[in-house]
Every structure is written in structure tokens, then in C-alpha cells.
Amino acid sequence: MSRWRAARWWALTLPLLPVLIPLALVTRRQALRLPAAAGARQGAVGTEHPGRPLRVLLVGESPVVGVGVEQLDDALAAQLARALAERLQRPVLWQLCGENGLTAGQAVSRLLPEAQGIAADWVVLVFGVNDSTQLTSIDAWRQALLCLCQALGQGGQQVALTAVPPLQHFRALPWLLRQVLGARARLLDAVAREVALSEAAQHLALELPFQGDYLALDGFHPSAAGYRAWAQGLAAQLALPEA
């Protein structure tokens, strides 16, 4: 089914390439490029609560390294830890392993060796935007996710895959580009759901208003409010281990 959908996407997209390619090049030149956030790449929250700390590791692309905010304390990993600590009333130790601009396939060689050395109860994978914009093939995307899930879950860790963000709502992109890349993102997300099911992992929906204060200045990444809302949605979905 995924290959059929991918073939249909290409059939619809190929006639538009004479328009899409110049549009993409102009958009890339004019895009506001924000740096990764500063600060510690690990931390502890909810330390006033009793119980064994829940260890959470985020692995992925720009949201993991906090593009869109100035400090990692305002980015996805720390915000997710706070949301989990509040829901569970227990301490949460968070850590991140990420790189801006990375695809899932690149993460296998560049992030996986480090991530495998980090002790965690939950590993949350955050990928898909770069694979959508770089037109990663369906087979390569699937293989990369399988490799990450299997390698990071082999020690008994629970693995979760966040949904591929809906690029059709990214206001930094021109309308036509948003529609084409949004359709590509939906294709990759369908594969992510299949991989999650096959690997006994979770697929976590992205619940975020892509408007106003929830977006950073680049219109592409979340703001601090956006990361907070995203994190709260993820925390509500996680099937948490026993304390």
C-alpha cells in the first residue's frame, strides 16, 4: 500500500517539478535559519516527587536540539520531562541525542552509537521533516526507522515514534510547496505507523496548533509555547511503564 501511495505521489508531483524546483530554491535562499538551542543536553525535573526516576531519551532532528527557541530548557525534551513529571508525580531524567538537518538514515550512523550508550526507560524518536523535504524513498525511510527501533529497543527500552509533522501547515513554505510536501509527510507518517506496529513501539500523534505564538520566527519550527503544547500531547499518549 505504501509503495502504491508513493507511486501516486510521484505521478502527481512530476508534472509540477518545473514549478516546484525554482520555488524550492527561492524558498531555501530566503528562509530564516535559526540555530540549535543552547544549554545542557540533559536534566532532571520533578525531583520533589518520590519514586524511581523515569529516564527519557529523545533522539532526532531539529526539534530535539531546540531549533526555534534559545535554550534547551524550553525545547521538546525538557518540556516533555516536565509534562511527564506532572502527570506521574515522579522524578524524570531527560537526555537528548540530536542534530539539526538530519534524516533518519543519517541518524543511524551519526546518532545511534551515542544513543545506544545512554540508559533510558523510554526512547522517543523525532524524525520526518528532513526526510520529507529531501524526498527520502519509502524503502530507505522504513529501513532507517526499523534499524533505530530495533537497536534502541533491544535492551528492554520502550520506543515511541512521533508523527511526521504536517508540512502543509508550515507557513514558511509557499502554498504549492506546502501541499506537495504535506502529502509526502503523510506518506512517511503512514510508514512510521506500520513500523511502530511491527516493532511493538508507539506512534504518537502530533497535537499542535500551527499558528500564532506556537511557531518560531522562521514559521517552520515550534516556539517555546509550541514545544510545550507538543510535549503535553506526547506525555498524554505515552503508555508509561510501571513505577
> Which residues, other chains included, contact 104 with Cβ-Cβ below 8 Å and sequence gap of 6+?
125, 127, 128, 131, 136, 141, 144, 145, 148
Overall average pLDDT of the 148-161 stretch:
94
pLDDT in tens, 38-67: 999 999 999 999 999 999 999 999 999 999
Query: Cell 527557541, residue?
Result: 69
d(CA 67, CA 17): 29
d(CA 154, CA 149): 8
Overall average pLDDT of the 194-220 stretch:
90
d(CA 238, CA 235): 5
pTM: 0.94
Distances (CA, A) of 142 to 103, 112, 169, 170, 194: 12, 16, 24, 24, 9
Helix (H, G, I), strand (E, B) or coil at 55: strand
**pLDDT attached to residue 243:** 40
Distances (CA, A) of 151 to 128, 193, 199: 19, 18, 11
Identify the CATH number of the domain defined by range 2-30+39-237: 3.40.50.1110
d(CA 96, CA 60): 8
Average predicted confidence (pLDDT) for the chain: 93
Question: 3-state SS string over 162-218?
Answer: ECCCCHHHCCCCCHHHHHHHHHHHHHHHHHHHHHHHHCCCEEECCCCCCCHHHECCC
**pLDDT attached to residue 153:** 94
Whether pLDDT at 211 is above 80: no
Work out the pLDDT band at 128, boundaries 50, 70, 90. Answer: very high
d(CA 206, CA 80): 13
Overall average pLDDT of the 123-136 stretch:
96
d(CA 51, CA 41): 23
The three grid cell numbers given for residue 47, joined into one nine-digit string = 525531583
d(CA 47, CA 94): 12
Work out the pLDDT band at 239, boundaries 50, 70, 90. Answer: low
Work out the pLDDT band at 240, boundaries 50, 70, 90. Answer: low
DSSP code, position 69: S
Angle of CA points 186, 189, 195, to nearest 5°:
150
pLDDT in tens, 75-103: 999 999 999 999 999 999 999 999 999 99
Whether pLDDT at 2 is above 90: no
Domain boundaries, the chain: 2-30+39-237
**pLDDT attached to residue 1:** 63
